[in-house]
Amino acid sequence: MRLLGRAGGAALSLLMVAVLGFFLFRVVPGDPVVSMTRGRPTTPETQAALRAQFGLDLPLHEQFFRYFTSLLRGDLGTSFTFRRPVAEVVLERLGPTLLLVGTSTVIAVALGLWLGVLAAWRRGSAFDRVTTGVSLTLWAVPTFWLGMLLMMVTGDFFPSRGMRDTDTAPDFLSQALDVGHHLVLPSITLVAVVCAEYALVMRSSLLEELHAPYLTTARAKGLRDDLVRRRHAVPNAVLPAITLVFLRFGLVVSGAITTETVFSWPGLGLLFYDALTGPDYFLLQGLLVVTAGAVVVMNLLADVLHGVLDPRVKVV
């Protein structure tokens, strides 16, 4: 029942995302066709034809109807810039983003949770103070600035842009090595910012757990601290932390946009930035729907996961 409600809520959210996406980008001043043909000799006829091609000459309610019915079919419209279906363009850029976000999230979750656990366990120690201090500082660091700084400091050691060189040998090993080489700086940037948040969340989550009476019992049984931590406290504290990882997926998305922009990483974030400079409204609209949709789904997953993992939450 609870899950059904959640799923219903998520569906409603998706619907609202779709509506928001439309109105945000259609009810804006200006004629996109003029931007499309900027700086080139055009004729009024060509402009009118383009307007018709993109359905921009229709009344707003008809545009909305068209938009919505195609959305239901998975059609996100056509990009002004690329003259191709938005869904196709987005799909093309999904891989690099998944690689960057995936790698960074795994590292950030592992590192962040680990640091958080240690910090909470040794609450008040030098380690705790340093970890918390560093995490708070990193949380305050603008992602893009960290990226620029890393680029400046590392100089020639790492490539300054993109995902791979164009003249790398085509065999798998060379390619993988090349991508890995390019991945270092962007993932460090993304990990640093996201990991700080996870460490802080994990620390406070575990601190709450440590007050629980069963831990005292466990200690009274004579178990070593290390074991108490690993067998009892951590598993219970990890649950809310993991859920939070999913809930804070939006944070990762935001981080990815700026990181990809700084490092020219050819994923969705960079596409978003490029769409801004057009501005390619249909592409922006599609990206908003896709990213917000992904976040909504992630949140639903967090709910489900929480119910499955935590016996205290009843899933009936």
Q: Which of residues 157-196 bind another protein (CB under 8 A)?
A: 157-169, 171, 173-174, 177, 180-181, 184
Comparing CB distances to another protein, the nearer of 23 and 311 is 23
Residue 270 is a binding residue for another protein (CB under 8 A): yes
Smaller CB separation from another protein, 29 or 311 = 29
Check binding of 137 to another protein (CB under 8 A).
yes
Least gap, CB of 198 to another protein (angstroms): 16
Question: Considering the rule CB under 8 A, would residue 131 count as an interface residue with another protein?
Answer: no
Q: In terms of CB distance, is 13 or 70 closer to another protein?
A: 13
**From 71, 253, 303, 307, residue interacting with another protein (rule: CB under 8 A):** 253
CB of 61 to another protein, least distance (A): 20
Site for another protein in 11-40 (CB under 8 A): 12-13, 16-17, 24-25, 28-32, 34-40
Give residues 200-219 in contact with another protein (rule: CB under 8 A): 211
75 binding another protein? (CB under 8 A):
no
CB of 309 to another protein, least distance (A): 20
Give the binding range for another protein (CB under 8 A) out of 47-55, 66-74, 117-125, 213-221. Answer: 47-55
Tokens of 217: 């019992």
Give backbone dihedrals phi and psi of 172, rounded to 5 degrees, phi first.
Answer: -60, -45
Minimum CB separation of residue 133 from another protein in Å reads: 8
In whole angstroms, how large is the CA radius of gyration of the chain?
24
- Closest CB to another protein among 71 and 197? 197
Residues in contact with another protein, shown as a per-residue x/- string from 91 to 110 under the rule CB under 8 A: -xx--x--------------
Q: For another protein, which residue of 73, 126, 220, 277 counts as binding (CB under 8 A)?
A: 277
Say whether the peptide bond before residue 279 is cis (omega within 30 degrees of 0): yes
Q: Candidates 60-68, 115-123, 270-278, 303-311 — which segment interacts with another protein by CB under 8 A? A: 270-278
Considering only 71, 76, 113, 288, the residue that binds another protein (CB under 8 A) is 288
Which residues in the 219-238 window bind another protein by CB under 8 A? 224, 226-227
| CB atoms inside a 10 Å sphere around CB 58 | 14
What is the secondary structure of the chain as a DSSP string?
-HHHHHHHHHHHHHHHHHHHHHHHHHS-SS-HHHHHTTTS---HHHHHHHHHHTTTTS-HHHHHHHHHHHHHTT---B-TTT-SBHHHHHHHHHHHHHHHHHHHHHHHHHHHHHHHHHHHHTTTSHHHHHHHHHHHHHHHS-HHHHHHHHHHHHGGGS-SSSSS-TTS-SSHHHHHHHHHHHHHHHHHHHHHHHHHHHHHHHHHHHHHHHTSHHHHHHHHTT--HHHIIIIIIHHHHHHHHHHHHHHTHHHHHHHHHHHHHHHT--SHHHHHHHHHHTT-HHHHHHHHHHHHHHHHHHHHHHHHHHHHH-TTS---
Task: Pick the stretch among 62-70, 120-128, 265-273, 308-316 that binds another protein (CB under 8 A).
Answer: 265-273
